A and B are shown apart, each in its own frame.
Chain A
Amino acid sequence: MPAKLHVDKLLDDPATKVIVCCGSGGVGKTTTAAALAARAAERGRRTVVLTIDPARRLAQSLGLRELDNTPRQVTVEGFDTEDRLHAMMLDMRRTFDDMVLAHAGPDRAEQILGNPFYQTISSSFSGTQEYMAMEKLGQLAADGSWDLIVVDTPPSRSALDFLDAPQRLSTVLDGRIIRLLSAPARAGGRGLLKIVGAGFGIFTKAISTIIGGQLLADASAFVQAFDSMFGGFRERAQKTYQLLRSPGTAFLVVAAPEPDALREASYFVERLATESMPLAGLVLNRTHPVLAKLPAGKALAAADELDRGGEAPLAAADELDRGGEAPLAAAVLRVHADRVAVATREQRLLARFTKAHPSVAVTGVPALAEDVHDLAGLREIGRRLAGE
């Protein structure tokens, strides 16, 4: 059995400043982040949860109706967090704009913001969301008014994207390639030109035929305007990276009991170790623990016997309002056998993960039968996270 992850201990520890929830898409990361924040606030910590692209109803449950990029206090009747729970949704475009405005002089900022290439990269480049999530986290941390910041990470196929995407954005903005494309003779340097030879000229020509010369020119203008402030950007990213490695940060890897999700979780655990980033443990969402010890085989045998004792089982099951104990008991037994089968599979998958990562603490979160769409649901998830 893996070590138990004590969620309340983590939430209550004043040294815990940042909790990052990461994992592959569709495992319940956002819900986990929101539930953790709500629980921390209830337990007395001034908390903000930074969500990225939450499902509409989850956003509503946090009282977030619009994407306005600043923390809003969450107040819900009967929910005792006083003024301690805040939530926000990341607006990546606006975060990027703000960053440009903060780093470039007004003239230059205007030039950058109006560039068509900037508009592409600030709204649709796949690494931008991750980069901006880091930027926002940096801002919230620098703000100093929070006991605890809980961060959801962008929905991506791979859990690793969160760590890799900012690097990809840097590469694109780095300027080396755009300089090559727009003025290969000057910027490429003799060494490189020697390697790529004549093919390079053909390539740049082909590119400008395909995507159009204007786009290339825009990109070039953008990178040049951006270059002077880029040092600042990189410095900030570096600072956030250091924050992620500091002892006040705790990573929670979120997974569902599915092979793909646990494989991603495994990659992520290894990666965190490589980067010396502090892992608090694994949150295994949507488990189906067995609630009665009766073995499945025995339950099924008894269900079959009950069925044989009556008429056609399904028709008979309809009789249960009128005293059909046998069909009811048979149905209950089959439900139990199904559940044992599911639980066995989940335990097998978890055991495989634990074998590879024996030191990672785990908490299982038994599935709610229905989607979470209000604070009461988040609270229930919080209780389950804490093992109550």
Chain B
Amino acid sequence: MRPPRLGGVTTPIVGWTAGWTEELTRARLHVVTGKGGTGKTTVAAALAIALATGGRRVLLVEVEERQGIAQLFDRAPLPYSEERIASAPGGGEIRALAVDADAAFMEYLAMFYNLGFAGRTLRRMGAIEFVTTLAPGLRDVLQTGKVKECVGRTDDAGRHMYDHVVLDAPPTGRVVKFLDVTKAVQDVAKVGPIKGQSEGVVRLMHSGDTAVHLVTLLEEMPVRETLDAVAELDGADLRPGAVFVNRVRPARLANRSLPAAAGGRVDAARVRTGLATVGLELAEDELAGLVEETVDHAVRVRAEQRARELLAEADLPALELPELVDGVDVGALYELAETLVDQGVR
């Protein structure tokens, strides 16, 4: 990992030398995970746009059946098919797929068996859910199997249908279990078509074609979870890709004055003198409010510095995304994608 910019004062996020490595440009399956609430889906979407920039075709996949992609792109829930949802600068195209495990199962059964009407009826009765309850790994195998199929699919000319596939994966706590289908298939029969399919998934997940990216905030808990996940990925022989530090906020105070300010020592009299030079005369309580806000800010920035130091232990390439005060809409996704491209994503 690059040395983190400790306490950089309003260090521009754009322009920070790219964290995207040569190795990462060779990955075709980009798995994006992170602690809940860190903005995993947003980062996955921005990464998909960034990867599509310049004319490539990218598939953005979600597997948690919560239609996060549709909400982000402000459109109706995605059906179980690969829909074009956005275009990228330079003629790129992003398609999206919400993998529904039940539908994947039916699709899978249909490949090998002719169920006729029974399939739909059984599904309605909850039989599919029941079966995936019996063998919890089955759900993961079906979903990763579908992802693998998308990564490997070729057109008539033998070219890959998608240059990249970005997977909005389950959160860090569950991601290794999800990706490490070797374990999951122990649940299912040792023979039969599922077995064969899962072997292909195992090969893909553990190959150089796959990188598992981690999204974090500059807060202690998400950073700790990130480090735990990296260790777990290493242990399972899955390859951690980059760390995406999301929602980075500007630091306003000079580095040198942080410790004092974080300790509550902001000299109100000097602030008053400074304000007076531009004709701002504030009442006592107004001034006290400003000082309190500044102390709050300093404490937060100091906590962020500690989080950066901790994060450096992961020793992974890092990319930063700024906090968007107005929230994330489609336009904002393009802005985020642009900052990723500026940091070398291609």
Tell me whether A320 and B275 are in contact in the complex, defined as CB-CB below 8 angstroms, given that A180-B127, A332-B290 are known contacts. no
- Does B3 make an interface contact (CB < 8 A)? no
Contact check, B250 vs A329: say whether CB atoms are below 8 A apart: no
In the complex, which residue of chain A has the Cβ closest to the Cβ of B268? A332
Contact check, B270 vs A345: say whether CB atoms are below 8 A apart: no
Tell me whether A203 and B109 are in contact in the complex, defined as CB-CB below 8 angstroms, given that A117-B134, A196-B122 are known contacts. yes
- Does B287 make an interface contact (CB < 8 A)? yes
- Does A359 make an interface contact (CB < 8 A)? no
- With both chains docked as a complex, state the minimum distance between the C-beta of A260 and any C-beta of chain B, in angstroms: 8
Contact check, B122 vs A203: say whether CB atoms are below 8 A apart: yes
Q: Which residues of B contact A121 (CB under 8 A)?
A: 133
Contact check, A335 vs B253: say whether CB atoms are below 8 A apart: yes
Contact check, B294 vs A178: say whether CB atoms are below 8 A apart: no
Contact check, B119 vs A211: say whether CB atoms are below 8 A apart: no
- Does B300 make an interface contact (CB < 8 A)? yes
- With both chains docked as a complex, state the minimum distance between the C-beta of B86 and any C-beta of chain A, in angstroms: 19
Tell me whether A325 and B254 are in contact in the complex, defined as CB-CB below 8 angstroms, given that A120-B134, A177-B130 are known contacts. no
Contact check, A325 vs B299: say whether CB atoms are below 8 A apart: no
Q: Which residues of B contact A180 (CB under 8 A)?
A: 125, 127
In the complex, which of the residues A178, A199, A203, A336 contacts B293, with contact meaning CB atoms closer than 8 Å?
Answer: A336
Report how many residues on chain A are interfacial, defined by Cβ distance under 8 Å: 78
Contact check, B271 vs A336: say whether CB atoms are below 8 A apart: no
- Does B85 make an interface contact (CB < 8 A)? no
Beta-carbon contacts of B195-232 to A below 8 Å, as 1s and 0s?
Answer: 00000000000000000000000011100000000000
Contact check, A172 vs B133: say whether CB atoms are below 8 A apart: yes
In the complex, which of the residues B36, B192, B292 contacts A26, with contact meaning CB atoms closer than 8 Å?
Answer: B36
In the complex, which of the residues B131, B135, B270 contacts A328, with contact meaning CB atoms closer than 8 Å?
Answer: B270
Q: Which residues of B contact A342 (CB under 8 A)?
A: 325
Q: Which residues of A contact B95 (CB under 8 A)?
A: none
Q: Which residues of B contact A338 (CB under 8 A)?
A: 249-250, 252, 297, 325
- Does A207 make an interface contact (CB < 8 A)? yes
Tell me whether A202 and B113 are in contact in the complex, defined as CB-CB below 8 angstroms, given that A292-B293, A306-B274 are known contacts. yes
Q: Chain B interface mostly helix, strand, loop or mixed? A: helix
- Does B296 make an interface contact (CB < 8 A)? yes
Beta-carbon contacts of B226-251 to A below 8 Å, as 1s and 0s?
Answer: 00000000000000000000000110
Contact check, A199 vs B287: say whether CB atoms are below 8 A apart: no
- Does B90 make an interface contact (CB < 8 A)? no
In the complex, which residue of chain A has the Cβ closest to the Cβ of B194? A210
Contact check, A210 vs B138: say whether CB atoms are below 8 A apart: yes
Tell me whether A202 and B118 are in contact in the complex, defined as CB-CB below 8 angstroms, given that A157-B66, A293-B286 are known contacts. yes
- Does A273 make an interface contact (CB < 8 A)? no
Q: Chain A interface mostly helix, strand, loop or mixed? A: helix
- Does A376 make an interface contact (CB < 8 A)? no
- Does B188 make an interface contact (CB < 8 A)? yes
- With both chains docked as a complex, state the minimum distance between the C-beta of A350 and any C-beta of chain B, in angstroms: 13
Contact check, B277 vs A325: say whether CB atoms are below 8 A apart: yes
- Does A154 make an interface contact (CB < 8 A)? no
In the complex, which of the residues A199, A209, A328 contacts B271, with contact meaning CB atoms closer than 8 Å?
Answer: A328
Beta-carbon contacts of B253-294 to A below 8 Å, as 1s and 0s?
Answer: 111110000000011001101110111101001111111111
In the complex, which of the residues A206, A219, A258, A302 contacts B112, with contact meaning CB atoms closer than 8 Å?
Answer: A206
Bound form: Cα–Cα A292–B285 in Å: 8
The B-contacting residues of A in range 294-327, CB under 8 angstroms, are 294, 298, 302, 305-306, 309, 314, 317-321, 323, 325-327
- With both chains docked as a complex, state the minimum distance between the C-beta of B307 and any C-beta of chain A, in angstroms: 10
Contact check, A198 vs B36: say whether CB atoms are below 8 A apart: no
Bound form: Cα–Cα A301–B138 in Å: 60
In the complex, which residue of chain A has the Cβ closest to the Cβ of B116? A199
- Does B81 make an interface contact (CB < 8 A)? no
The B-contacting residues of A in range 72-112, CB under 8 angstroms, are none
Contact check, B286 vs A195: say whether CB atoms are below 8 A apart: no
Contact check, B125 vs A292: say whether CB atoms are below 8 A apart: no
Beta-carbon contacts of B125-152 to A below 8 Å, as 1s and 0s?
Answer: 1110111011110100000000000000
- Does B10 make an interface contact (CB < 8 A)? yes
Beta-carbon contacts of B164-204 to A below 8 Å, as 1s and 0s?
Answer: 00000000000000000000000111111110000000000
- With both chains docked as a complex, state the minimum distance between the C-beta of B74 and any C-beta of chain A, in angstroms: 11
Bound form: Cα–Cα A55–B286 in Å: 38
Contact check, A158 vs B66: say whether CB atoms are below 8 A apart: yes
Q: Which residues of B contact A329 (CB under 8 A)?
A: 270-271, 273-275, 277-278
Q: Which residues of B contact A290 (CB under 8 A)?
A: 289, 293
Tell me whether A199 and B292 are in contact in the complex, defined as CB-CB below 8 angstroms, given that A207-B131, A328-B271 are known contacts. no
- Does B54 make an interface contact (CB < 8 A)? no
In the complex, which residue of chain B has the Cβ closest to the Cβ of A337? B252
Beta-carbon contacts of A160-196 to B below 8 Å, as 1s and 0s?
Answer: 0000000010011000111011000000000000011
In the complex, which residue of chain B has the Cβ closest to the Cβ of A345? B325
In the complex, which residue of chain A has the Cβ closest to the Cβ of B105? A210
The B-contacting residues of A in range 130-180, CB under 8 angstroms, are 155, 157-158, 168, 171-172, 176-178, 180
Residues of B within 8 A of A (CB): 9-10, 35-37, 64, 66, 71, 109, 112-119, 121-122, 125-127, 129-131, 133-136, 138, 187-194, 219-221, 249-250, 252-257, 266-267, 270-271, 273-275, 277-280, 282, 285-294, 296-297, 299-300, 303, 325-327
13 additional contacts (CB under 8 A) given A292-B293, A369-B300: A26-B36, A124-B136, A176-B125, A197-B118, A199-B114, A203-B109, A210-B189, A291-B288, A291-B293, A294-B286, A298-B280, A320-B257, A328-B266
Can you identify 27 A-B contacts, CB atoms within 8 angstroms?
A: A26-B37, A117-B134, A125-B133, A157-B36, A172-B130, A180-B125, A195-B117, A196-B122, A197-B116, A202-B114, A202-B118, A212-B190, A292-B288, A294-B280, A302-B275, A306-B278, A309-B278, A317-B253, A318-B254, A323-B270, A325-B271, A328-B271, A333-B290, A335-B252, A341-B325, A370-B300, A370-B303
10 interchain residue pairs of minimum CB distance: A199-B118, A329-B274, A26-B37, A292-B289, A291-B289, A369-B299, A317-B254, A325-B274, A196-B118, A199-B115
